[in-house]
Structure formats: C-alpha cells, structure tokens
Structure 1
Amino acid sequence: MLRKISKALFGKRSKPTTPEQHTASSDSTSPHEASPAGRARLNDLDLSQADIIERDEHCISRRHISPNALKVLYRLGDAGYHAFLVGGGVRDLLLGDTPKDFDISTNATPEQIKQLFRNAMIIGRRFKIVHLRFGREIIEVTTFRAHHDAQNEFDDSSSNRSIKGLDSAHSSTGMILRDNVYGDINDDALRRDFTANALYYTVDGFRIIDFAGGLDDIDRRLLRMIGDPATRYREDPVRLLRAIRFAAKLDFDIEKNTRAPMNELAPLLESISPARLFDETLKLLTGGQAEKTLALLRQFRVGDILFPATMACSRDANSPEARLLTLAMRNTDKRLAQDKTVTPAFLYAALLWPPLQQALRKHGGDNPGITEQQDMANRVILDQLRITAIPKRFSIATREIWELQLRLQTRTRRAVESVYAHPRFRAAYDFLLLREDAGEELDGLGQWWTDFQNGDKNQQEQMLAGLGKGQTGKRRRRRKPRRKPAEKAGDNA
C-alpha cells in the first residue's frame, strides 16, 4: 500500500541520474575519509543500485526521531562523514510505531567517531560498535561493514587467541567469528539480515535509501532474508531467533525461502554461548508477543533447542503443562501492554515448571516433600543453565517461587503468616493462580489466598482462627536436662 500510494501520487521513485555523479568523489576519497568539501552530501555516494524515496513520498518526520539521534547524524555529517538512521528505527517509523531505540550507520570508523564524541565508548571484539550515552538513552553507531576474507577459516573450537588481530574470521560451519571489515553503504546494505532492516534514512533531504526492496516487503508484511538464507543463518545462527522475533512482533509472514532451512539449521544454536542465548530469549519473550513467539518456537523446532525439556513434556496442546505455558505468555503480553514489569524469574518458573513436575512424578513419588522438590529444582535449572545462562539472582528467585508453591498449601497459622511475609509471596501467589487456570486441581487454594489478601485485619484474623490450633510466635525452646553431679569415688566402694 505504501508503494502504491507513493507511485500514484508522485510517480516512480528517483534514482541517481548518472553513475558518474556518484563515482567521482570515490576516486578522491576513501569510504572512511571525511569529505574534503566539509559537510557530506548524499550525491557523493554511488546509489545507482538503490531506490531513493524523497521526503514527500514517505511518512517519517524528524518530530518522531530522538533528538539525540538527530544530533549524532548532524555532527557526523558536519564533520564530513556519511551517516544514516538505519534498521529497526526506520522500519518501525514506517509502520507507524514508536522505535525502542535508534541505530546509526556511518562510514566513520569507531576511532573517528570517538574523536567527535566525548561520550563515545567502543565495545565488542567480534563486532566493534560505538555506544553514545545521552543520559539514559544510548545511540548505537556502527561502521559500514563489507564482505569477509574467505581464507580466514577456523574450526569451531578455535580460541579467541587464535583469531586475535584479525578483522575477519569465520568457523568451518560458516559462523562469523570476527566482523570488523569495513566497506561502503552498498556493502553494508547487503550485510544486513532482512530487507525490512536495510532501509537508510538521511537528514540530507530527509530521504530514505532502499537497497533490497524493503519498503515493498514492509507493505506486504513479509520478512525476507537478504542473500541465501542458509548461508546467512550459518553466519550467525541467532538470526533464526531474530526471524521468529520479528515475525511475532511485527505480525509479518516469514517468506518461504527464508523459512525453508530453519528447522534443519536450528541445531546451529547449540554453538552460541549460553549468555547470549539468555539475552536473546528475553528479547523473544518480552517484546509484547510472547504467546505468538511460543507458537513459532514450536513450529520451527527452535524451541527444542532453547527449552528441550519444556517442549518434550508439553507437546499435547490440551495438557495442563501446555496450557500453563500459553497462559504465562499471554499474561506476560498483558502486563507489558499495561506498562507493568516482567521478571525473568517468573518467566523461567513457568517455562521450567513442566519438566520439574515430570521429574517429581518420576523420582519423587506420589507426595514429594520440600527436600525432594529442592533437589529436583536444582537439577532442572542446572540442565537449563547449560543452554541459557540464567543469572543467579533470577535462578534463586525461580527456586523460591517453586518452593512457596508447597508452602502455600500448608494452611496453619504459622505457615500462612510466614508465607504472607515472604518477599516472593506475590510472585508465588500469581504462579499459583496460573496453575489453577491451566487446569491443575488445587482444591480452591487460589481463592482462599485471594480472600485472605483482600480481607482487612479482622477478616484475616478470622480466617487464621478457622485453621485450628495453628501455632504462632516463636517456638518454645526445649530446656536441656540438667546434668547429674558427678558421684564421689567412695560412694561405689
């Protein structure tokens, strides 16, 4: 629709008139030198292979762009460098959404960027980027990337020491190990993952540069990989997760060629570090479309790699385990839509609850106690840690939510008062309701705790009194028996 309206109103999009206009400057300056004439101009670039969308042909306005991002674009341009707003920020603005962050791509190297901005920090080894911090906002700036040297191949077990000093390196399976070969904007566009992310916005005339038909794909709500999908997934297997995340978040269909190798290549994710997979998992589940994401994880077998035990014991869509996962993701989406917080501890408590219950049924008997639960919980979390490195502060909280499930069932005065005062009570209570909604039979436990919370002090005291002789206060210390005085030696004579 965007493209059709543009053509109807404005005719065919403009392209550079003659290649000579765009190659002349490249003869006198390298891609990473500032323009000798001062401010960089779009006409200095060879854009003969791109569509140029003029300001009156698109809906992006500077009013919707972060002032800090604009500041970076103008400062780089004034210094003679080409700089563009790129990626998800441009895509989201075209879709009428508010971007979560703004990324910039430029022909300035990280060192040149740092010379221009005192607040610049160069981060990363595999992929050098620059973070510009403005208060709580971070603008990410990257240098145009180019293709890799095919000779720099290493086996998958190669250490960082083996590739130290190299700008480009890849593994025997095709995964990129170093990605610091710089090029021009044409190279950079072809190195991006999806066509919808290969759109460049410039403050020089406020135009959009489209190298890969991204605007058409946005119009058709289609997620299409740039280049050969299998090769691109091998370069970075996390693109499998990005495909699922964008498809769910944007409500896009994954184009058939982009979709075709996903199941076969899902095991490549096993080569990604657990720490990175944890971060990517959070992005998947906290983007506002967790329920849809869960369905896609199942469809493309990626879930079997990320959460093998969870998927194995929740394949029946009508089982309480599967319903609990669906409801947990749905509730997560609702909370995010209401600007409420979502803790990874609760997400992992839900995701790993099915394998925990299966382990308890298998090894803990019919009525496992708290010790058996703790042992099984440790095993389940340890197995998951080998895949996604859950930080300790979250794994501890997950265990506490689980442990409180057993304590919530013990309705004596002492147990109720203790659980109600626990810092994780609210999360444990929410999890209890989730279990009931999923079909677990808990004999009205959720309603009892709901009534207790909603009652005033008198009502709570009446409910506690109805529990019987539940003890309160401190236990009486048992007095040690007095030691008998030692008998005199002569008494037994």
Structure 2
Amino acid sequence: MQPTDKTPAVSPRSIPRDQHNVSRKDVSPNALRVLYRLREAGFGAYLVGGAVRDLLVGGHPKDFDVATDATPEQVKQLFRNCRLIGRRFRLAHVVFGREIIEVATFRSNADDGSGDREVHDDGRLLRDNVYGTIEEDAVRRDFTANALYYAIEDFSVRDYVGGFEDVRNKVLRLIGDPETRYREDPVRMLRAVRLAAKLDFEIERDTATPIPALAPLLREAAPARLFEECLKLFLSGHAVASFERLEQHGLLSALFPESAAALKANRSGALRRMVLAGLRNTDQRVANDEPVSPAFLFALLLWPAYCRALMQLQAQGMHAVEAERRAADRVTVHQLDTIALPRRFSLPMQEIWLLQGRFSQRQRKRVFRLLAHPRFRAAFDFLTLRLSASDEHAADVAFWREAQAQPGDALAAQLEAHPAQDDADGEGRAPRKRRRRRRNGGGAGADHADTQEPAGG
C-alpha cells in the first residue's frame, strides 16, 4: 500500500511505565529471551501487536510476537531453534517446545526496488518483504490497536499512529485508507469483526463503512484461509458477538450465503434463535476450557441452509430420506466454494444432520443401534439444541435422555412392553428396498426451488 492522504501522520510517542499496565511478569519468558538476545546482539527488538494490545486491556495473550530490525536470516543465526517460514511474509519462528515466538522484520510501505513485493491488479498484496524502520512498520500494520510496541530497555510502550488512545477508548481503526486496505487483503474485514467481538470495541465509522460493499471480495480469499478464520471467529469464546457483528456488517452472506438466505426467509426467527443458542453454548464451553468440535459448529451454522434445501427437495416430491441425503450433500458442496471444510469435519457434520430423523424411532433394534452410533452424543446434543427453535422435539429429547440413563435390559423391557410399528416412522422413512435404490442414485444435483418459510428446527 502506498501512503494516502488518509494515512495517519507518524507521531512517535513513548508512554512511560507508570502510565500503562504492561508488565514483564505477564509476558512469556521465552518471548523475553528472544527480546534480550536480539538486544544483546545490537538489534532493536520489541514486543508488538496483539500481545501489547491485550495486555493493555487486561487480557491474557496466548501468542507473543516480536518485531525487530534484524532480517530473518540474522535472526536465524542467533537462534539454533529457529526456522524461516513464509513466502508472502518472510518470518522467523523461534521454537521453544510447544511455544513458538514469531519474529518479524520491520517492513516498509515504500518499495525502492530493493525488496520483494508483488501487488495484484485488483490491489491484493501477494507478497510483502520490503524491510524498513519501526516508524514505517507501524504505518503498514492493519489497525492502530495492533501498532503498539513494548520496549524492554525502558519498559515503555511506543505508539506511532494513535493506537494507545484508541485502545483506551475501545475503538478499532484501520491505518490508512480503509477501502485500499481491504482490497489489499479482504480477510481484514473478518479480522475487524473478530477483534471488535473479542475486545468489545466499536469499529470506527470510516473503518466500518466500506465493509458491506466490499464483502464479496472475500470470495477471492483462499477457502482454506477462510476456514481458519471461521475457527478463530467462532471457537475463541466470542462466537455470539462475532455472529452478530457479521450480520451487522453484511459479512454473514459472504461467508455462509445459503444459511444467510435461509435466516432472512425464516420470518419466525426460530432458526436464528437456534443458531444463537448453539453459539452461546460454544462460548460457555470455551470459557469452561471444554472441547469444542468444528463439525458441530458447522452443523449449527449450516443448519438453516440444510433445512431450506430439505424443504425445497420435499416440495418437489422427493421422498424424505432421499431428500435428507441430497440436501446434506448440496449444502456441503455449495459451501465448499467459499470455505474449505475438511472431510474430517464435513462428514460428521452430515451425520449429525441425518441422525436427527432417527430420533423419532422407537423400534428396539433401531433404538439400540442409534445409541451405539459413534455420532449419537453429538446428534443428541444437536437435537436438544433444536428445542430453542421449537418444542415439538421435547418428547424425543425426554425419551432419549431417559434411554441413555437406563441399563440395557431395562430399556429393552420398556421397548418390548410398548412395541412400535416397524414399517415407516413419523419422518416418513422408506422401506429397505427404497433405501437401497437411494444409495445408488444419491447426490446433490437438485436445483433450488422457490419455497415458503423454512422449517424452524
């Protein structure tokens, strides 16, 4: 990015130790080792970015990054436990067991031809390895809150673009012309939403204004990168706030176009209630340091799209069982155009959906078969979550909750005392012959159809 008239003027400011709350005792000892060794070797070195920002707001950073005037090759000479990575941004990783301290060389906006920079015709920055001074490095960072540097020689915080005041005022502001910065890297729009959700900051007006119009640029980002960004958005303990801000800034339809369309068409709001309830549960699990599953997360986020696709296929006269499988395939394949959802998550996601129709079954063999299914627990949790959209599943939830608590022989006796019909259940299940024909012709080839309001859960 070349500087524009909207690029803040560099105004160096040093905030002394008695005017900020960043303390060495809250910094990773390994990051301090890197900082001190670089300083001892005669290089400038600073803790930078998110760690400084988070410490200023009283947070507990997980990652500690270092910025220096040493080149990656010079860093590697100082640390035997160092490896160089990256093509777009050349970086040094200093490895201490399971902790990695990322060391980046100060970068410059101006390219005199001596460095390595490549810009796409549409403004996307493909490679940026032109080194510069700390002042130049501060200006080329994304948000002012991320352009703060902690100096170990005097324990001050160095601010060049007004980031210290923005952090105090809980404002997220892009450095430079927002449209230019978003075109350089469209994923910055997601970073703005994620950081605002995480920090409970407001996105500054000029920073927020271009986002809805530029949201389609996310289709130019690598689907694998968008998958990783989704994990950061929804599995870091701020899923509800992230979802609401994605809606607010017009980004939900760029990430999950079919789910966004289904939510918009769902006039009762049942689908949205379910999604938000699931995201609240996810945030609670993160807060309790409990495991969270990307498969379950995407089953939740894409459930509105699945419900709508299922209703469309059934409206065309397709049998329920076939429609379920085709809807699952269709939604998954279409979503892969935007987000590279790995099969190790997409397949369990589909199983969670497809098992929902089996919870209405009460035949003895089917009950025990479902209880033994490896996805039973996730599917049952999903069924329970559907109660936030509609109470029509309350009886099924009660039955399966009791079934899990009973000894096998007691459950068998109960089922035998109240035998169920073994032909077709309440979901319209097909007999075995029809299921066999379905497996030969399954797929996701059906076209979309105009539909009424999608089912609420």
**TM-score, scaled relative to structure 1:** 0.80
Q: List per-residue Cα deviations over 1:49-82 (Å, max 9, x = no partner).
A: 3111112221111111111111111111111111
Residue in 1 that maps onto 2:273: 323
Contact kept? 1:127, 1:179, Cα under 8 Å: yes
SS of the equivalent of 2:272 reads helix
Q: Which residue of 1 aligns with 2:347?
A: 396
Q: Secondary structure at the match of 1:325?
A: helix
Which structure 2 residues correspond to residues 405-424 of structure 1 after superposition, within 5 A? 405-424=356-375
Aligned partner (choices 332, 355, 358) of residue 282 of structure 2: 332
1:385 aligns with 336
Deviation at 1:469, TM superposition (A): 6.8
The structure-2 alpha-carbon separation of the partners of 1:326 and 1:125, relative to structure 1 and needing over 3 Å to count, comes to same
1:293 aligned partner, one-letter code: S
Deviation for aligned residue 1:110: 1.1
Q: In structure 2, which of residues 376, 381, 388 is the aligned counterpart of residue 430 of structure 1? A: 381
Q: Hey, what does 2:400 align to over in structure 1? A: 449
Q: 1:422 to 1:368 in 2, by over 3 A?
A: same
Q: Deviations over 1:302-360 (max 9, x none)?
A: 11110000000102474221111111111111111111111110011111111111111
Q: What amino acid sits opposite 1:261 in the alignment?
A: P
Letter in 2 for 1:450: R
Residues 70-149 of structure 1 aligned to structure 2 (within 5 Å): 70-149=32-111
Shift of 1:194: 0.8
Query: Does structure 1 residue 179 correspond to structure 2 residue 142?
Result: no
Tell me whether 356-365 or 223-232 shows the greater mean CA deviation: 356-365
Highest CA radius of gyration, 1 or 2? Answer: 1
Q: Is the 8 A contact 2:31 2:64 kept in 1?
A: yes
Letter in 1 for 2:285: R
Q: Residues of 1 paired with 2:172 and 2:372: CA distance? A: 49
Deviations 1:382-407 (A, max 9, x none): 00011000011001110111121122
In 1, distance between residues paired with 2:417 and 2:68?
70
Q: Is the 8 A contact 1:149 1:169 kept in 2?
A: no
> Is the contact between residue 274 and residue 385 of structure 1 (CA under 8 Å) also seen in structure 2?
yes
Compute the displacement of 1:458 (Å). Answer: 5.3
The residue aligned with 1:246 is 195
- Structure 2 gaps of 5+ residues are 1-9, 423-457
Aligned to 1:347: 297
8 Å CA contact 1:288–1:336 kept in 2: the answer is yes
Q: Give the conservation status (yes or no) of the 8 Å contact 2:115–2:130.
A: no
* Counterpart in the other structure of 1:214: 163
Q: 1:64 aligns with which of 4, 8, 26?
A: 26
Mark the CA change 1:216 to 1:121 in structure 2 (over 3 Å): closer, same or farther: same
Native 8 Å contact 1:169 1:179 kept in 2: yes
Name the CA distance, whole Å, in 1 between partners of 2:137 and 2:15: 19
Alignment partner, residue 36 of structure 1: none
| SS of equivalent residue, structure 2 residue 126 | strand
Same amino acid, percent of matched pairs: 49
For 1:305, the equivalent position in structure 2 comes to 254
Contact residue 106 and residue 133 of structure 2 kept, 8 A: yes
Cα offset for 1:227? 1.2
Secondary structure of the residue aligned to 2:305 is helix
Question: Does the residue aligned with 2:393 lie in a helix, a strand or coil?
Answer: coil
TM-score after normalising by structure 2 = 0.86
How far did 1:457 drift? Answer: 4.4
Question: Cα 1:441–1:146, aligned 2, differ >3 Å: closer, same or farther?
Answer: same
| 1:259 CA displacement | 1.0
Q: Does 1:375 align with 2:318?
A: no
Deviation at 1:209, TM superposition (A): 0.3
Q: What is the SS of the residue equivalent to 1:113?
A: helix
Structure with larger RCO (C-alpha < 8 A, sep 6+): 2
Tell me, what secondary structure is at the counterpart of 2:347? helix
C-alpha spacing 1:362/1:166, structure 2 compared with 1 (3 Å): farther
Tell me the distance in 2 between the aligned counterparts of 1:193 and 1:84: 17
Where 2:80 maps in the other structure, the secondary structure is coil
Mapped pair 1:460 → 2:411: yes
- Equivalent residue for 1:274? 223
* Counterpart residue type for residue 322 of structure 2: T
Aligned residue pairs total 412
1:224 Cα offset (Å)? 0.9
Which deviations, in whole Å up to 9, do the C-alpha atoms of 1:270-319 show, x marking residues without a partner? Answer: 11011111111111111211111111111111111100000001024742
Determine the C-alpha separation between the residues in 2 that align with 1:136 and 1:408.
43
Preserved contact between residue 317 and residue 323 of structure 1 (Cα < 8 Å)? no
- Cα deviation for residue 169 of structure 1 reads 1.1
* Aligned CA distance change for structure 1 residues 372 and 210 (closer, same or farther; 3 Å): same
Residue 260 (str. 1) matches residue 209 (str. 2):
yes
CA contact (8 A) 1:413 1:470 kept: no
Give the Å deviation of 1:150.
9.5
